[in-house]
Structure 1
Amino acid sequence: MKKTFIFFISIMMVFGILAGCSKGTSGASEKKKVETIRIVAANHPWTEAIKKQLPEFEKKTGIKVKLDSYFEDQLTQKTSVEFASNSKNIDVVMFSPLQNGRMFYGNGYFTDLEKYAAKEQGFTDDFYSSSLIKSEKDKLYGIPLVIETQVLYYRKDILEAAGLKPPTTMEELKEQAEKLSDPNKDLYGFVSRGKRASAVSQFSSFLYSFGGDYMKDGKSAINSPEALKAFEYYGGLLKDYGPPGTLNMSWPEAMGVFTQGKAVFFPEASSLYTNATDKTKSSISDKVGFAPFPAGPAGSKPYSVTAWGIGIGANSEKKDAAWDFIKWATSKEVVAKLQTEGITGARKSVWDSPEVNKAYPEDLVEAMKVNNEKGIPTTIPLITHVGEARDVIGDVIITAINGEDVKKAAKKADEEFNKIIEME
């Protein structure tokens, strides 16, 4: 009996030791458990560039990344469905602030980033203020990844031959467009978008620089005296000094006219500059100059927008890890690496680095820096039914290009736009 008891006690001690070892091993295993975050992103050069940097992030933080990317329309649909179903599977999301940021934030799909940014001393100080993605109540919900602004593309050789410098005001732009336009030689002083909805985004910088806006105090402002002058000016340039077929031109068609050497001035998004400077795409690749947006009666107020941003899903259970990724992906070091690959970020210090920006045309860098400091963070009305609004505003632009009654068209559009606003 004594021997049996001792044997039994010995067995129990062995099991206890094994259980303790098992518990210790399990605890150690739990401590070493790797956290994985899911990022939902667009098929975009930024996504391709960041993929190459992910091993650095994973090694630095111990956090694994699962990156799912989709075409832009698919991305909107995918994220909309997952967010609406209260999915917890989106930790980090890449999104277009102007296209769906406002709607997604309004629906409660994003996490407010105020408390996260506040923990990082001076985190937002190095970003251009117009690039930070905020709600109507000034709450930060997204960090910029890619920015663009409207610069003035121009023909350096033509201006030099005429003894002219790039225009700095709307008045000078009109004077030079008139002087240099020569339709008999298939050369036009000015080209820009003239196709209804497409024209609205590029018209916006003219509207702001004339002191106008799309909305004021929740109502349409496209029938204001300032807006009328902007419509007449923009439409007048295209009517008097633009090429044939302007009403059918979105950016590819307008860019085509410019790169074929048929236009002197072309106000367009900075992100498209390689179309004008690439020898395989442009017959004037070595003759293109870039200048800041000219000043109107209210000064130079070009759009300077965040084309793509990044945020945290509201239902994510890994918000801290998601913030670690965002903090890393938008750091000075990573933004600098990506900017050398053509991804134009939003950090001032990176734009101030000649080494980082040596691949860009020097005058383009300077034009962007000037614009970004005073830019307006939208190209379109900030409403959900923006497509309908762009069509209505585009009708006034078409009227101006045709040389018809702008006041009458703007009054009608003003009424229609207010009805759209009431639908919000």
Structure 2
Amino acid sequence: MKRFLSVVVVVALLLATSAGIFAADQPYKGTTLRVLLSNHPWTDAIRPLIPEFEEATGIKVQVESLFEDQLSQKLLVEFASGTSTIDVFMQRPLQEAKQFQTNGWYADLRPFAQDDAELDLDDFFPSGILAETVDGVLTGIPIVTEQEIIYYRKDLFEEAGIKVPTTMEEFEVAAAHFNDPANGFYGFVSRGQRAAAVTQFSSYLYSFDASFDVDGVATLNTPEAIAAFTFYGDMLRNYGPPGVLNMSWPQALAIFAQGNAAMYTDASVFYSNMLDPEQSDVGELVGFAQFPAGSAGSRPYSVVSWGVSMAGTSRNKEAAWEFMKWATSKETTLAAQYRQVPSARTSAWANPEGVVNFPAQLVDVIMASSEGSMPYDRPNVIGVGEARDVVGTVIVTAIEGGDVAAAAERANRDYQAILDREK
């Protein structure tokens, strides 16, 4: 009954918003918007509600929903042609924002958003707005976020009388305590595959007071960066499972979900996999904790996996903004988050209706992780795939127990070449 009432409350709020946000004279009535969205839970959450927006505004919304790779390819082809009729589109800022902004494919949302009290830009996680800002241009409004957290076995920590680690030192001590490779059990697991590991390694890099680059200068070879690479490599080599160099998130997650590891660091979005009895043997035993602090404190990434943007070539910018404002409003966001779409709005996480379907411990961790977090989980460059490969070589060397300083020096030169090429 409580869950049913929650749905009623959310829908009622949304209907009230649809009726109240827009002026009665419907200034954009008759406008048709072409909107490209990804096949994603956020799209599934808002799509049934679009008729309410259309009725309230008189704006017709034509939605094209595509798989992630198809959407990216369609955007690239249409925008490059210079004849696109797209008005609004979903995009992945970590993958596309730099390239799209360099090519002039975005409309700057700052003039629309900065003084719009209904949107309330200050309600979004600061890291979300930073991720969507390129060269001072607000390229999108964040809609889906994720943070790096610790997944841990509550039962094991309680039985051992060990507190959940809050520092890197405690993290290693706990991993060493639980590590039992002779019985197929490991203290820690995370991604070790070259490029795939970079995003999850980033939080270690930041927490060790390092970064990929500063003001266009590569910083992979600093003492702080080398310490981060070394720590991550040591953790996986000394306390991780065999074959970790071939593990991206599905393989690493499976090790933990099958009950073969005490701790796992990765994106908060995987909590549902951990709790699903069809995918996990340890669902009721999983705890969530904030990323451990290094010399710079706990500085995990808090990234925008998806945002919604306006095409620079749109001929319906005012109407497009009305749709975007509605789609990212507090009320619509609350409705989406009720369906377990983790949003970038503080108000949704502070509202009981927004967190009722999330584990309470996870909500606290996400809120804490959004403060002082970093907006990028990978090098912020156009050639992000190439850059991830470069950084990943140092991670692999560290896991193998090789010369981390030498590998970092080589990677720094290669990464600097990427940065110089994009200047």
TM-score by structure 2 length?
Answer: 0.91
* Separation (CA, whole Å) in 1 of partners of 2:38 and 2:202: 26
Deviates more, 1:134-143 or 1:379-388: 134-143
* Separation (CA, whole Å) in 2 of partners of 1:57 and 1:387: 38
Pairwise CA distance, 1:229:
0.2
Pairwise CA distance, 1:423:
2.0
Name 2:50's counterpart in structure 1: 54
Find out whether 1:104 has 2:100 as its counterpart.
yes
* SS class of match (2:99): helix
Identity %: 48
Letter in 2 for 1:126: D
Find out whether 1:357 has 2:369 as its counterpart.
no
Structure 1 unaligned residues grouped into runs of 5+: 1-29
- 8 A contact 1:396–1:410 mirrored in 2: yes
Name 1:343's counterpart in structure 2: 341
Letter in 2 for 1:182: D
Q: 1:262 to 1:316 in 2, by over 3 A?
A: same
* Separation (CA, whole Å) in 1 of partners of 2:167 and 2:267: 18
- 8 A contact 2:132–2:141 mirrored in 1: no
Deviates more, 1:188-197 or 1:109-118: 109-118
* Separation (CA, whole Å) in 1 of partners of 2:282 and 2:150: 15
Find out whether 1:118 has 2:114 as its counterpart.
yes
Deviations 1:108-147 (A, max 9, x none): 1010111111341372111111101443433212100100
Find out whether 1:89 has 2:85 as its counterpart.
yes
Deviates more, 1:196-205 or 1:77-86: 77-86
Task: Provide the aligned length of Structure 1 versus Structure 2.
Answer: 395
- Counterpart pick for 1:41 among 12, 33, 37: 37
Q: 1:158 to 1:82 in 2, by over 3 A?
A: same
Deviations 1:378-402 (A, max 9, x none): 0111111111111111111011111
The 5-angstrom pairing of residues 10-409 of structure 1 reads 34-121=30-117, 123-132=120-129, 133-409=131-407
Deviations 1:290-344 (A, max 9, x none): 0111110011100000000011111111101100011111111110110011111
- 8 A contact 1:193–1:254 mirrored in 2: yes
* SS class of match (2:284): coil
* SS class of match (1:369): helix
* SS class of match (1:356): helix
- 8 A contact 1:102–1:135 mirrored in 2: no
Deviations 1:338-380 (A, max 9, x none): 0011111111011012232111111111110001122100011
Deviates more, 1:127-136 or 1:376-385: 127-136
* SS class of match (2:352): coil
- 8 A contact 1:193–1:251 mirrored in 2: yes
Deviates more, 1:373-382 or 1:349-358: 349-358
- 8 A contact 1:88–1:317 mirrored in 2: no
* Separation (CA, whole Å) in 1 of partners of 2:144 and 2:29: 34
Q: 1:86 to 1:403 in 2, by over 3 A?
A: same
Letter in 1 for 2:49: Q
- 8 A contact 2:304–2:375 mirrored in 1: yes
- 8 A contact 2:97–2:139 mirrored in 1: no
* SS class of match (2:112): helix
Deviates more, 1:252-261 or 1:139-148: 139-148
Deviations 1:199-243 (A, max 9, x none): 000000000000000011212110000000000000000000001
Letter in 2 for 1:146: V
Letter in 2 for 1:125: D
* Separation (CA, whole Å) in 1 of partners of 2:161 and 2:136: 47
TM-score by structure 1 length?
Answer: 0.91
Deviates more, 1:130-139 or 1:186-195: 130-139
* Separation (CA, whole Å) in 1 of partners of 2:139 and 2:29: 29
Pairwise CA distance, 1:31:
8.9
Name 1:3's counterpart in structure 2: none
Deviates more, 1:129-138 or 1:158-167: 129-138
Please provide the CA RMSD for this pair: 1.5
Q: 1:272 to 1:112 in 2, by over 3 A?
A: same
Name 1:6's counterpart in structure 2: none
- Kindly name which structure, 1 or 2, has the bigger radius of gyration based on alpha carbons: 1
Deviations 1:170-198 (A, max 9, x none): 11100111111111221100000000000
4+ runs deviating over 4 angstroms: 30-33
Letter in 2 for 1:408: A
Deviates more, 1:347-356 or 1:323-332: 347-356
* Separation (CA, whole Å) in 1 of partners of 2:53 and 2:108: 23
Pairwise CA distance, 1:163:
0.7
Letter in 2 for 1:54: I
* Separation (CA, whole Å) in 2 of partners of 1:384 and 1:343: 27
Letter in 2 for 1:73: D
Structure 2 unaligned residues grouped into runs of 5+: 1-25
Name 1:11's counterpart in structure 2: none
Letter in 1 for 2:77: V
Q: 1:209 to 1:51 in 2, by over 3 A?
A: same
